[in-house]
Amino acid sequence: MLNVVILAAGQGKRMHSDRPKVLHPLGGRPLLAHVLETARELGADRICIVHGHGGEAVRQALDAPGLAWARQEPQLGTGHAVLQALPFLDDAATALVLYGDVPLIGAATLRRLLAVADDGLGILAAVLDDPTGYGRILRDAGGRVTRIVEQRDAAADELAVREINTGFMAAPVAALKRWLPALGNDNAQGEYYLTDIVGLAIAEGTAVATAQPEAPWEVLGVNSKPQLATLERIHQQNNARLLMESGVTLADPERIDVRGELDCGRDVAIDVNCVFAGRVVLGDGVEVGAHCVLRDAVIGAGTRIAPFSHIEEAEAGMNCLIGPYARLRPGTRLGDAAHIGNFVEVKNSLIGDGSKANHLAYLGDATLGRNVNIGAGTITCNYDGAAKHRTVIGDDAFIGSDSQLVAPVSVGRGATLGAGTTLTEDAPPERLTLTRTRQVTVPGWKRPAKKEG
Ligand code: UD1
Ligand code: CA
């Protein structure tokens, strides 16, 4: 049985932010959400989050069924923090200590740590060129771990040790219940150090074993904005590699940002500097041009999105052409083979199969049938200052350029609107409707001319 304790009570002063540290986003999700996901991936039977500073906000943002929240106030050290979690843990379980601000830790590494810990104490260690700031792992002549000494408590020869404690530990809950209440705080920081359980384990004859992370970046923590940015890049590189390994073509893996979940079919190609947020699904053969932003979007197979398009809470069918410079706003659904061209904004509208709005238009709260042609400059006047109204356009209708459709209004199937029409009443099917005044040419008219001299 596995119980996970996530330490997240630290203040995060060096972030210089009012937001609790573990709520800062990495890949579009709070740091702590990444750690929770990993805990769940390990099949944790219980998860206890130790929170303190800004803890209510953290709880509100991430509470879910099955999570236990232990408050640590004041914060007297990592040993004191894990002590607060003990009442929520199962005596028969192994406890795994994770950190809310170390988000890239991988499940495979943690399985390794749990395996070496067995029924004893497991420590995730790493060997660093520059171990400054970390607790050093001290070993005896036989290579057995004897102690972890914190930087501030270490003697000169101990500071030279390059093997460090990453902080991740695994131990039986029952053992922690013996060890943690016995910790003292007689050290340079006056804190109850979790690391001091090593001595207690050894005194009891409990085995102490170490494991190493699969990748060194897994154990990097976030204490500042520069560190957050460093981890964001690593996370994005990992995303990009997974996408390419699954067959996606990326013009440049260094220039894609996935802030959520991106699900791609076969032969998807993504050009540079695209941002994908929320949950985005790209069907087989979808091409996304440079500098596009997609959030919560589903794009059908064969659809091409040209550069600089912005798509949010919208869906497109198969073989559509979108952009360049198209904007699809929430509630938009394009059928198959629809075209939405440059400087066209579509909001809360259904665009039928084969319908086209290729240039400079606003379609808001509209329902278009199939094969409708929307001329350049067309606007649905959907808002009267108080309420929104719908525009309904039948199959095969042709809307002349620079028309305004004052909703609520409908255009019949096969109808044509003359260019420049201001439609305030329904247009009948199959007929030409237009509202402009007739063109006249004035006979004998002369342009006024300036008098000479
Ligand atoms: C700790 C380890 C050190 C290790 C390092 C790795 C101890 C005594 N030292 O040191 O050996 O090399 O991590 O980064 O464990 N926290 C609480 N409540 C507290 C104190 C801390 O929740 O009272 C949380 C913090 O939010 C943070 C984590 O525990 O997520 C580590 O705390 P921090 O003060 O950064 O530990 P270090 O002193 O760096
Ligand atoms: Ca500390």
Mean pLDDT of the region 376-398: 97
pLDDT band at 188 (very low <50, low <70, confident <90, very high): very high
Which mutation among 7, 13, 78, 165 tests ligand 1's pocket best, with the greatest number of atoms within 8 A of CB? 78
| Ligand 1: residue whose CA is nearest its atom 36 | 78
Does residue 192's CB lie within 6 angstroms of at least one atom of ligand 1?
A: no
pLDDT score at 53: 73
| Ligand 1: residue whose CA is nearest its atom 39 | 134
pLDDT score at 452: 84
d(CA 135, ligand 1 centre) in Å: 10
Instruction: Give the tens place of pLDDT for each residue, 131-176.
Output: 999 999 999 999 999 999 999 999 999 999 999 999 999 999 999 9
pLDDT band at 395 (very low <50, low <70, confident <90, very high): very high
Instruction: Give the tens place of pLDDT for each residue, 207-231.
Output: 999 999 999 999 999 999 999 999 9
pLDDT over threshold 90, residue 205: yes
| Ligand 1: residue whose CA is nearest its atom 26 | 10
Mean pLDDT of the region 436-443: 94
Instruction: Give the tens place of pLDDT for each residue, 292-310.
Output: 999 999 999 999 999 999 9
Mean pLDDT of the region 395-411: 98
Mean pLDDT of the region 318-328: 98
Does residue 164's CB lie within 6 angstroms of at least one atom of ligand 1?
A: yes
pLDDT over threshold 90, residue 54: no
pLDDT score at 10: 84
Does residue 341's CB lie within 6 angstroms of at least one atom of ligand 1?
A: no
16 is catalytic: no
Instruction: Give the tens place of pLDDT for each residue, 65-121.
Output: 989 999 999 999 999 999 999 999 999 999 999 999 999 999 999 999 999 999 999
All domains in the chain, ordered by first residue: 2-219 (3.90.550.10), 225-433 (2.160.10.10)
Residue 77 Cα: closest atom of ligand 1:
23
| Ligand 1: residue whose CA is nearest its atom 27 | 10
Please state, in angstroms and rounded to a whole number, the distance separating the CA atoms of residues 416 and 399: 6
| pTM score, whole prediction | 0.93
Average pLDDT, the chain: 97
Mean pLDDT of the region 413-441: 97
Please state, in angstroms and rounded to a whole number, the distance separating the CA atoms of residues 358 and 227: 45
d(CA 26, ligand 2 centre) in Å: 23
pLDDT score at 55: 86
Instruction: Give the tens place of pLDDT for each residue, 189-202.
Output: 999 999 999 999 99
Instruction: Give the tens place of pLDDT for each residue, 331-384.
Output: 999 999 999 999 999 999 999 999 999 999 999 999 999 999 999 999 999 999
Q: Which residue type does 261 have? A: E
Residue 80 Cα: closest atom of ligand 1:
23
Does residue 264's CB lie within 6 angstroms of at least one atom of ligand 1?
A: no
